Amino acid sequence: MKSSRRALSILDQCLTMAQIRQTQSHLTVSGTLFDPYAAAKIIAFCSESNSGDLRHAFRLFLHMPHRTTYIWNVMIRAFTERNESTRALSLYNDMIQSGLLPNNYTFSFLLRACADLSYLSMGLLLHCHAIRLGWESYDFVQNGLIHLYVTCDSINPARKLFDMSVYKDVVTWTALINGYVKSGQVEVARELFDEMPEKNAVSWSALINGYVQVGLFSEALELFVDMQVSGVLPNHAGIVGALTACAFLGALDQGRWIHAYVSRKGMKLDRVLGTALVDMYTKCGCVETAHAVFNEMPSRDVFAFTSLISGLANSGESESAISLFARMKNEGIAPNEVTFICVLSACSRMGLVDEGLRIFGSMSNIFGIQPGVQHYGCLVDLLGRAGMLEEAKKVVREMPMEPDSYVLGALLNACRVHGDVELGKEMVERLSGKSLDHSGVRVLLSNIYASANQWDDVTMLRKGMEEKKVRKVPGCSSLEVNGEVFEFVAGDRSHVLMDEITLVSLLWMDRDDDKLTE
């Protein structure tokens, strides 16, 4: 008896599975293994500790003659946290059949399992059970239900639960904000965010990434600045979202500030954060810095490689992009669809037809990736730039899907460069169809006529565009001044400083004219 009491006290001091097994042996010999306290401690350690053994915990659980609700909860939670949500839900069925009733903690674990599986029908059943047993109003359960409905794209029942809730904590608010962000309703998410009595880093990050998700990059950066002004330290997700916004806006100064913040705080340069920095620097034209960040990353995946390959290709360093592609394969990292688009573009810019054809063929033959319309567009561009127009035309004719404006535009651009008016007209007439209404295609065809001095055809085509009200999509650019990003759209005069901007532009034009007359 004294030995069993000593073994029970030792359980609290066990740090490894070896110690747990040794103590369990003493408890087995003394006949106290299934003491509720002892069994619960062993199962909890095996299922929750990083050095634990979930299978060992489950075997002990199955041999227990009497299982409490707490023991069931420990096992259900363990399977959920180890990404074995199906087993967790199966255990719930066994628990009900054993005659034990779940409590609020049971439902919180089960609802998380349903969310992980996007298992809405089971979630609805659990919701009914929670109502019947009187657990629906508990905060753990309500948060779990809201998270489940949000995950399964059912925002209306999530909102209904939120409005019914008496005690709303930060988790409750953030879960619903995530739901509206996920459904693209960022304005509603912002309204909720502004109403929040208390915000944490997760709340701020949810909305920052929501703005990024719908392309409102300036708003994302403004919110990131507001977050710091409010005294909330940005977390990993918020920093990645802000870096993505910097990348799309070309906001290099803000991107550098974020990088300095990451270094100052000693944040780990994991794959997600490292890739976000690489992407930001490449899109801002700082390829050398991007390469340096890439080399600092302790581990790299396909997304990190693809981001740098894309940056190198877009910066005219196609040879380096192709070399990095080879290094990626040598390191055993398989390319994805986007990687192939980037490296094929690099081959196109360098005129490496044979290499590009070999890489294109390896997509399906080696990596099992079926080329999409963008890959065929890269192939057409590769052949067209090399003057192989007949081969490019054959690719367009034989590709397994309908060519889009990108594919047709690549061929038409090749026709313009090489002065092949007839092929350009033929492609437009035979393949464009819907794409002919695309302004870019019409402009390209107009340029082909112009390069061949066929001005009557240019006039007719432009007139047809006016009659059909086909207009070129206005260009957009952004400019970073003193850490603030300003966006300009062609033809838009709504900027608050438009008069001053126009005046300065006229002064510069006069200055250039004066230089020409000197």
Q: Where are the domains of the chain?
A: 197-299, 302-371, 393-473, 475-518
Contacts of 5 (CB under 8 A, 6+ apart): none
Asked if the model's pLDDT at residue 478 lies above 80, the reply is: no
C-alpha distances in Å from residue 312, one per residue of 83, 225, 320: 38, 30, 7
Nearest to 424 by CA among 460, 392, 378: 392
Give the pLDDT confidence score for residue 516 in this predicted structure: 43
pLDDT bucket at 41, cuts 50 / 70 / 90: confident
User: pTM of the predicted model, to two decimals?
Assistant: 0.75
Average pLDDT in the 45-60 region? 78
Average pLDDT in the 240-268 region? 94
Average pLDDT in the 361-367 region? 94
Asked if the model's pLDDT at residue 279 lies above 70, the reply is: yes
| Structural contact between residues 55 and 82, judged by C-beta atoms closer than 8 angstroms | no
Give the pLDDT confidence score for residue 490 in this predicted structure: 47
- Lookup: tokens for 195: 């109403």
Over residues 374-429, the pLDDT tens digits come to 999 999 999 999 989 889 989 988 999 988 777 877 887 787 777 666 666 666 66
- By mean pLDDT, which of 26-30, 264-268, 289-293, 393-397 is the weakest? 26-30
- By mean pLDDT, which of 54-58, 92-96, 200-204, 291-295 is the weakest? 54-58
| Structural contact between residues 342 and 310, judged by C-beta atoms closer than 8 angstroms | yes
Asked if the model's pLDDT at residue 300 lies above 90, the reply is: yes
Asked if the model's pLDDT at residue 470 lies above 60, the reply is: no
- In the chain, what percentage of residues exceed pLDDT 70? 76
pLDDT bucket at 431, cuts 50 / 70 / 90: very low
Nearest to 290 by CA among 274, 301, 303: 274
Give the pLDDT confidence score for residue 20 in this predicted structure: 74
Give the pLDDT confidence score for residue 39 in this predicted structure: 75
Write the burial class of residue 114 (CB in 10 Å: 0-12 exposed, 13-18 middle, 19+ buried): buried
Higher pLDDT, 370 or 458: 370
